């Protein structure tokens, strides 16, 4: 089965000022519809690679293609538009806007994609229902549990129906039960066709995903796939 | 356009399709207000500086305009065509006497429509015979012609004006201040002028054009001659001419009254004193405007400070927005809008405060309130300018934050 690549990294390197080589020639292709875990010790370059994949950062050298676009050919404004339409992010620390309710937080996921306010809110409610938070529409972040906050953040990432969802330790700040719900949601999202890339320190989570990419010192040291599961078995 | 991104990426998505969407004006305002709603106390405090500055400037302009409008209305009502010719000394210290027929001579000047006169009378005024002669209560006696009141546009507060019969009798009409100093509140009471008991038949309202008349007790010319040994020479001649010929009349007035020695005659225009008051107020107005401008400047620095802090505190929000697809321009616009809203809030509050203060003060003074639209428009323009100046640097800094750096700190 030949599926189109959503992400292609070719000899991607990233050097920070001060001589830190966070990525040292990374080659990685992620195909449409994949669900992969990125694992590795702290400081090995996982977040750096995720930022490069998400076009928040540019590689020092090498080529990065996201959704078919060569990132080096796009201006900052076009990269922003690419993120607005095709990429969703989930962060370890949620990054929700304090004082604004769940619906408004999620609706902001569509703000920069040119969707009118009413539609943004309507789709935000749908997305919140999708993460099973339809009883928390009017709650502000400090009225939500950590797990609920992360579900709001996931709803914000998926409300724009991105082709690619990038999650940097989405369960890192959550207890096991909340983490399981979050992973369940990511599985569901993947089942509906979205490519999902998850950084995790949790071995159990990593082992439950069909593909695992292991990092060490800015390089991929292993890239393993489980025997493909059927869609039914994945649930 | 229904672009399901999961279908056929290569053929539909060309770089040219990746045009960043523009925010609608409503969204720009909403996003700009997000940061303000979350930090109300700080917003109020930093808008306060602007508000004080704008309020000061609007109130200063409003009050000076209201007072000027009132002055103009008064001048309009009182007329600026009144000239006085007063007996002075002749330069060597000897007092000059106006001729007895001065009024008639002034009336002979072409454009003069009306002339009348008063004269100093040597009669000491006391409240009663029990008060020693030396204590005169600061009230002097003047003789007045019957047409004086109408020529000056004066009004009687109580009782009546001198009559044909009354001007020959020991009766007097008191100026407002004179009545006050003598403690007379009703007509019919008597006062002493030298040793003559005189009946108060009227009390005047203050005479705006000639306030010196407020402090005198007026008697008729005939009565002054009969009871107080007055020689019949007027001291001050008042005349009204057509508005256009005031300067012409002024040029010939002294000469007409006393062709021989015009040196000892002082000609003046009482309305000039009122007009001069408007000019002296202007200096104060400028000073207050300067103070308002300083307050405004300090307010602007406050807004800039708030914005810089706001950007520092909201690095994560900025990173998040960038990850959601905000362009640098959108971030810049957000913080610029926030700064504009902040200073605009101060400006509108200040304009309202200033207008209210003007209204309150003008009412207390009995003026009609004048808040010139240009002052409000100027205040608003200053506010917007400050908003842009104060917000530009923080907004540019915010837009230059690298998204990953902004997201970094937890
Ligand atoms: N902005 C930066 N400037 C300089 N060095 C950086 C910057 N960001 C990351 N690094 C360095 O790059 C290396 C890789 O960092 P990265 O955040 O990608 O690690 P990570 O694998 O995500 O680690 P963790 O699991 O702890 O999150 C680290 O050595 C880090 O110190
Ligand atoms: Mg990391």
Q: Which domain holds residue A163?
A: 5-228
Question: Is B144 exposed, middle or buried (CB count within 10 Å of its CB: 0-12, 13-18, 19+)?
Answer: buried
B31 vs A111: CB contact, 8 Å cut-off?
Answer: yes
pLDDT recorded at residue B68: 83
Which of A103-117, A145-159, A190-204, B72-86 has the least mean pLDDT? B72-86
Measured in Å, residue A9 CA sits from the centre of ligand 1 at 18
Tokens of B393: 């640097």
More confident residue, B230 or A71: A71
All residues of chain B having their beta carbon less than 8 Å from the beta carbon of residue A91 are: 320, 407
Substitution target in A8, A83, A106, A110 with the highest count of B β-carbons within 10 Å is A83
pLDDT in tens, chain B (410 residues): 444 444 444 444 455 578 899 999 999 999 999 889 888 899 999 999 999 999 999 998 888 888 888 888 888 888 888 888 888 776 677 777 788 888 887 887 888 888 888 888 888 888 888 877 777 678 889 899 888 888 888 888 888 888 888 888 889 998 999 888 888 888 888 888 888 889 899 999 998 888 888 999 999 989 888 888 888 888 888 888 888 888 888 888 787 787 776 677 888 888 887 777 767 777 778 888 888 889 889 999 999 999 999 999 999 999 999 999 999 999 999 999 999 999 999 999 999 999 999 999 989 988 888 888 898 898 889 999 999 999 999 999 999 999 988 777 54
Q: A2 pLDDT band (50/70/90 cuts)?
A: low
Cα B322–chain centre separation = 53
The alpha carbon of B199 and the centre of ligand 2 are apart by a number of angstroms equal to: 105
Say if the Cβ atoms of A83 and B4 lie within 8 Å.
no
C-alpha distance from A68 to closest chain B C-alpha (Å) = 6
Please write the tens of the pLDDT for every residue from A192-204.
999 999 999 999 9
Is B20's CB within 8 Å of A111's CB? Answer: no
The answer to whether residue A234 is domain-embedded is no
Q: Residue B88: its pLDDT value, please?
A: 79
The answer to whether the Cβ–Cβ distance between A74 and B3 falls below 8 Å is no
Q: HEC string of chain A?
A: CCCCEEEEEEEEEEEECCCEEEEEEEEEEEECCCEEEEECCCCCCHHHHHHHHCCCCCCCEEEEEECCEEHHHCCHHHHHHHHHHHEEEECCCCCCCCCCCHHHHHHHHHHHHCCCHHHHHHHHHHHHHHCCCCCCCCCCHHHCCHHHHHHHHHHHHHCCCCCEEEEECCCCCCCHHHHHHHHHHHHHHHHCCCEEEEECCCHHHHHHCCEEEEEECCEEEEEEECCCCCHHHHC
Distance CA B38, CA B43 (A): 9
pLDDT for residue B15: 54
Question: B407 vs chain A: nearest CA distance in angstroms?
Answer: 8
Tokens 């949620």 — which residue? Answer: A94
Q: How many domains does chain A have?
A: 1
Longest Cα separation, chain B: 121
What's the distance, Cα to Cα, between the start and end of chain B in Å?
A: 38
* Predicted local distance difference test score (pLDDT) of residue A182: 92
B139, B147, B203, B148: which is closest to B171 by C-alpha?
B203
Q: In terms of Cα–Cα distance, which of B81, B51, B100, B227 is closest to B152?
A: B81
**Dist. CA B159–CA B188, nearest whole Å:** 9
Query: Ligand 1 atom 19: the closest Cα is on which residue?
Result: A43
Q: What is the pLDDT of residue B10?
A: 43
List the structure tokens of B95.
């007092």
B92-to-B86, B99, B236 alpha-carbon distances in Å = 17, 19, 20
Residue B89: CA atoms inside 13 Å, Cβ hemisphere, count? Answer: 5
Q: Which residues neighbour B343 within 8 Å (Cβ) at sequence distance 6 or greater?
A: B47, B50, B299, B300, B303, B383, B384, B386, B387, B390, B391
Distance of CA A37 to the CA centre of its chain: 11
**Could you give the CA distance from residue B317 to residue B323 in angstroms, rounded to a whole number?**
10
- Which of the residue ranges A128-132, A231-235, B38-42, B175-179 would you say has the lowest mean pLDDT? A231-235
- Which among A93, A113, A117 is the nearest to B21, CB-wise? A113
- Kindly report the nearest CA distance between residue A56 and chain B, in angstroms: 6
How confident is the model at residue B9, as a pLDDT? 43
Say yes or no for a CB contact (<8 Å) between A86 and B5.
yes
Q: Which residues, 6+ apart, have CB-to-CB distance to B58 below 8 Å?
A: B350, B351, B353, B354, B355, B358, B371, B375, B376, B379
Beta bridge partners of B125: B193
CA of A87 to the centre of ligand 1 (A): 21
Nearby residues of B321 by Cβ (< 8 Å), 6 or more positions away: A108, A112, B330, B331, B334
Rounded to the nearest 5 degrees, what angle is found at the Cα of A179, between the Cα atoms of A138 and A189? 75
Encode pLDDT of B161-173 as tens digits.
888 888 888 899 9
A130 assigned to some structural domain: yes
Other Cβ atoms closer than 10 A to B172: 29
Edge-to-edge order in the sheet of strand A87-90: A87-90, A164-168, A195-199, A35-39, A211-216, A219-225
Residue A235 domain flag: no
pLDDT digits (tens, 9 = 90+) for A10-49: 999 999 998 899 999 999 999 999 999 999 999 999 999 9
Residues with CB under 6 A from ligand 1: A 16, 20, 22, 40, 42-48; B 405
Asked if residue B394 lies in contact with residue B307, where contact means CB atoms within 8 angstroms, the answer is yes
Contact B302, B343 (CB under 8 A): no
Residues 6+ apart with CB under 8 A from A54: A66, A83, A87, A89, A164, A166, B323
Query: Which CATH number is A65's domain given?
Result: 3.40.50.300
- Supply the pLDDT for residue B14: 54
Bridge partners for A70 per DSSP: A65
Nearest one of B17, B145, B62, B80 to B9, comparing CA atoms = B17
pLDDT at B8: 43
Cα–Cα distance between B298 and B45 in angstroms, integer?
12
B197: its two tokens: 């008991």
CA of A154, closest CA in chain B: separation in Å?
12
Domain locations in chain B as residue ranges: 24-74+276-408, 81-270
Q: Which ligand 1 atom is the nearest neighbour of the CA of A218? A: 14
How much is the pLDDT for A45? 93
* Rg of chain A, C-alpha, whole Å: 17
Q: Which residues touch B79 (CB under 8 Å, ≥6 apart)?
A: B153, B240, B243, B271
User: Is the model's pLDDT at A98 over the cut of 70?
Assistant: yes
From A44, A54, A172, the mutation candidate for ligand 1 (largest count of ligand atoms within 8 A of CB) is A44
Dihedral sign for Cα B90, B219, B202, B148, please.
negative
């Amino acid at each position: 089965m030949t599926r189109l690549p959503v992400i292609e990294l070719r000899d991607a390197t990233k050097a920070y000022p001060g001589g830190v080589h966070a990525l040292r020639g990374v080659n990685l292709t992620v195909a449409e519809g994949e669900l992969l875990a990125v694992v590795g010790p702290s400081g090995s370059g996982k977040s750096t690679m995720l930022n490069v994949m998400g076009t928040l950062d540019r590689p020092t050298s090498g080529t990065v293609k996201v959704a078919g676009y060569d990132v080096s050919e796009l201006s900052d404004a076009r990269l922003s538009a690419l993120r607005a339409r095709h990429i969703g992010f989930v962060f370890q620390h949620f990054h929700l806007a304090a004082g604004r309710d769940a619906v408004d937080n999620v609706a902001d996921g569509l703000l920069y994609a040119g969707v009118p306010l009413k539609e943004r809110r309507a789709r935000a409610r749908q997305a919140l229902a999708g993460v099973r938070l339809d009883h928390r529409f009017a709650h502000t972040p400090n009225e939500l549990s950590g797990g609920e906050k992360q579900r709001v953040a996931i709803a914000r990432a998926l409300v724009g129906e991105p082709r690619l969802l990038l999650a940097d330790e989405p369960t890192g700040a959550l207890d096991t039960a909340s983490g399981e719900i979050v992973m369940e949601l990511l599985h569901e999202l993947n089942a509906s066709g979205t490519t999902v890339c998850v950084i995790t320190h949790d071995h159990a989570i990593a082992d439950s995903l069909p593909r695992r990419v292991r990092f060490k010192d800015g390089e991929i040291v292993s890239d393993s796939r489980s025997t493909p599961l059927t869609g039914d078995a994945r649930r | 356009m229904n672009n399901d991104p999961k279908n056929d990426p290569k053929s539909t998505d060309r770089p040219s399709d990746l045009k960043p969407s523009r925010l609608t004006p409503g969204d720009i305002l909403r996003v700009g207000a997000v940061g303000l709603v979350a930090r109300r106390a700080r917003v109020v405090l930093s808008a306060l500086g602007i508000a004080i500055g704008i309020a000061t400037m609007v109130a200063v302009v409003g009050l000076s305009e209201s007072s000027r409008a009132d002055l103009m209305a008064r001048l309009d009502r009182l007329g600026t065509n009144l000239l006085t010719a007063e007996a002075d000394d002749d330069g060597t210290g000897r007092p000059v006497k106006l001729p007895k027929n001065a009024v008639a001579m002034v009336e002979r000047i072409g454009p003069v429509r009306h002339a009348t006169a008063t004269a100093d009378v040597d009669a000491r005024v006391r409240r009663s015979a029990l008060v020693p002669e030396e204590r005169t209560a600061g009230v002097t006696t003047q003789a007045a012609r019957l047409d004086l009141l109408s020529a000056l546009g004066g009004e009687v507060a109580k009782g009546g004006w001198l009559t044909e019969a009354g001007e020959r009798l020991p009766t007097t009409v008191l100026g407002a201040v004179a009545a006050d100093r003598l403690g007379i509140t009703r007509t019919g009471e008597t006062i002493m002028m030298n040793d003559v008991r005189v009946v108060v038949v009227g009390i005047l309202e203050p005479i705006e054009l000639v306030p010196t008349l407020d402090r005198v007790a007026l008697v008729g010319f005939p009565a002054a001659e009969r009871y107080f040994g007055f020689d019949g020479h007027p001291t001050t001649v008042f005349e009204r001419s057509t508005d256009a010929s005031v300067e012409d009349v002024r040029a010939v007035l002294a000469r007409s009254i006393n062709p021989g020695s015009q040196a000892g005659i002082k000609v003046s225009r009482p309305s000039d004193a009122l007009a001069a008051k408007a000019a002296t107020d202007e200096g104060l107005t400028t000073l207050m405007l300067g103070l308002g401008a300083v307050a405004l400047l300090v307010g602007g620095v406050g807004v800039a400070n708030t914005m810089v802090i706001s950007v520092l505190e909201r690095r994560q929000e900025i990173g998040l927005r960038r990850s959601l697809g905000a362009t640098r321009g959108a971030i810049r616009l957000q913080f610029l809008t926030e700064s504009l809203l902040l200073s605009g809030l101060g400006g509108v509050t200040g304009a309202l405060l200033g207008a209210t203060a003007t209204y309150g003060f003008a009412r207390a003074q009995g003026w009609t309130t004048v808040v010139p639209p240009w002052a409000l428009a100027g205040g608003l323009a200053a506010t917007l300018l400050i908003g842009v100046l104060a917000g530009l640097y923080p907004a540019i800094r915010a837009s230059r934050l690298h998204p990953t750096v902004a997201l970094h700190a937890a």
